[in-house]
Amino acid sequence: MLNRRNFLTAAVGVAAATGLAACAKKDEGGSTGSGGGDGKIVLGFSQVGSESGWRSANTDSVKEAAKEAGYNLKFSDAQQKQENQISAIRSYITQGVDVIAFSPVVVTGWDAVLKEAKAKKIPVVLTDRSVETSDESLYVTLVGSDFTDEGRRAGKILEKVLEKAGHKGPVKIAQLEGTTGAAPAIERAKGFKEVMDADHADDWKIVVSQTGDFTRAGGKQVMAAFLQSNPDIDVLFAHNDDMGIGAIQAIEAAGKKPGKDILIVTVDGVKDGFIAMSEGKINAIVECNPLLGPQLMEVVKKVKNGETVERWIKTKEGDFMQDQAKAALPSRKY
């Protein structure tokens, strides 16, 4: 997979080229896409689905920010299916929107449709998740988090969690992965493994790892199976809060105490995750901010106007331990 960091170097050239493309489009058509002549920016947005609390917050953020910015937003929910995203993008191309933004459900398989957008000179902005492509000119920028770093932060915070729990000796870890082939699943696993390989080759071991597709139902079902095959799991690392919450139900159903018998680290920091943490059931959360709407609208405007934007616009986020949960809960925005 291409390292997203490598893309930064190409930023100026690609953004400039796409900027020119955006201008050319305006000149050709004499109007700005399918805006119906009212001067509004027309943004076609293809969302992954509604699999998690993170996703709902992200969808709300995009819709609100588009309204605030006065854009004409065309929104579609792909229900976690790549073919649905591809048809949504194709329909935005046919409609001649000004800019297409999408959060790709998986990393591969986008080149053909992105080439179609490029041929029609419609710039594409990735949001939240990245794609794997050999042609860097197929999208202008990514607005989203550094998932590899989130995986590393999960590893680091687990050290603190284990210390706090007074855990000594080997650590048997179960991992609930996100959607197979999705950037956050690949990269969070990678970052976590980096910490394991560097500092815990002798004491930590991932004994089971499987996808729960970023959903509560998936987390519950897979965790129940994990507990059957490995009743002596010490730690659960779940790639998102929702799978962690599903897993908590399975752990309780098996007569164990989440947060005590099995220490739990998750990613996202949605309200329900914080509630579970304030109840002592999740031990630490690595934050991943879904409120990308305002930044996305800003970028879309720049891209539409042919301005240069950075190749990767990163989200800022923090980490939270259980003892911070109660205090942080009232101020959580998602």
Residues that bind ligand GYE (CB under 6 A): 51-52, 54-55, 128-129, 184, 214, 240, 242, 267-268, 288
The distance of closest approach from Cβ of residue 129 to ligand GYE in the complex, given in angstroms and rounded to an integer, is: 5
- Closer CB to ligand GYE, 234 or 241, in the complex: 241
Residues forming beta bridges with residue 267, ordered by sequence position: 286
**Which one, 19 or 246, has the nearer CB to ligand GYE?**
246
Q: How far is the CB of 3 from ligand GYE (least distance, A)?
A: 18
Contacts of 166 (CB under 8 A, 6+ apart): none
For residue 59 the two structure tokens come to 């969808």
Minimum CB separation of residue 81 from ligand GYE in Å reads 14
Q: How many residues does the chain have?
A: 334
Residue closer to ligand GYE by CB (options 60, 116) is 60
What is the DSSP secondary structure assignment for residue 109, as one 8-state letter? S
CB contact set of 193 (below 8 Å; sequence gap of 6+): 151, 206
Q: Which is nearer to ligand GYE, 21 or 284 (CB)?
A: 284
Phi and psi of 102, rounded to 5°?
-155, 155
From residue 120, alpha-carbon distances to 25, 138, 303, 327 in Å are: 8, 12, 15, 50
If the CB atoms of residues 53 and 259 are measured against ligand GYE, the closer one turns out to be: 53
Question: In terms of CB distance, is 256 or 334 closer to ligand GYE?
Answer: 334
Query: What is the smallest separation between the CB atom of 120 and ligand GYE, expressed in angstroms?
Result: 27
User: Whose Cβ is closer to ligand GYE: residue 234's or residue 242's?
Assistant: 242
Q: Residue 175: what are its φ and ψ, rounded to 5°?
A: -120, 125
Return the exposure string of 5-44: e unless at least 16 CB atoms fall within 10 Å of the residue's CB, then b.
Answer: eebeeebeebbeebbebbeebbeeeeebbbbeeeebbbbb
d(CA 108, CA 81): 13
Question: Toward ligand GYE, which CB reaches closer, 123 or 184?
Answer: 184
- Spatial CB neighbours of 259, under 8 Å, sequence gap ≥ 6: 279, 280, 281, 282, 283, 322
Cα–Cα distances in angstroms (integers) from residue 155 to residues 90, 189, 288, in the given order: 40, 10, 15
Between the CA of residue 194 and those of 182, 185, 191, what are the distances in Å?
19, 14, 5
Helix (H, G, I), strand (E, B) or coil at 47: strand
